Amino acid sequence: TNEKNQVCAQAVSLPDYDGKIYLDAKSTAETFVFQKEGIFTADPEKAINRLKIIRQSEFFPALLAYAKDSLPKKNISDLSKQPDFQNLIGQCAADVLAKINSGAE
């Protein structure tokens, strides 16, 4: 967390490809899921646990693969608008929310 107790992405890199700057694929995938309503938290301990739950989701590998494949070709703004990417985020988020609501934290 930063000095305002806001949760920040971990392991962020900002490579520059043809003028397009974006987060690395793993941070991108984690961040999009983490920002979903019901998953985001400013509590550092819960944030760490929720990031683990995101990474353990059965849908996370497909989301990560999509991000890895797309980022060299698209910037983060274009990627975020892709329906397939949004669908994968939604599937992963639903899985994570189900685990959080069942007490997996």
The answer, yes or no, to whether residue 48 has pLDDT greater than 70, is yes
User: How does residue 71 score in pLDDT terms, banded at 50, 70 and 90?
Assistant: confident
Beta strands in 1-105 (DSSP E): 16-17, 20-21
pTM of this structure: 0.76
**Which whole number is the average pLDDT over 94-105?**
90
pLDDT, position 3: 57
Whether 1 shows a pLDDT value over 60: the answer reads: no
Query: pLDDT: is 89 or 80 the higher one?
Result: 89
Is residue 75's pLDDT more than 80? no
CB-based contacts of 57: which residues, under 8 Å, 6+ apart? 33, 92, 95, 96, 99
Residue 38 has pLDDT above 80, yes or no: yes
Give 14's pLDDT tier (boundaries 50, 70, 90): very low
| Res 82: pLDDT | 93
Q: Angle at CA 29, nearest 5°, toward 13 and 27? A: 25
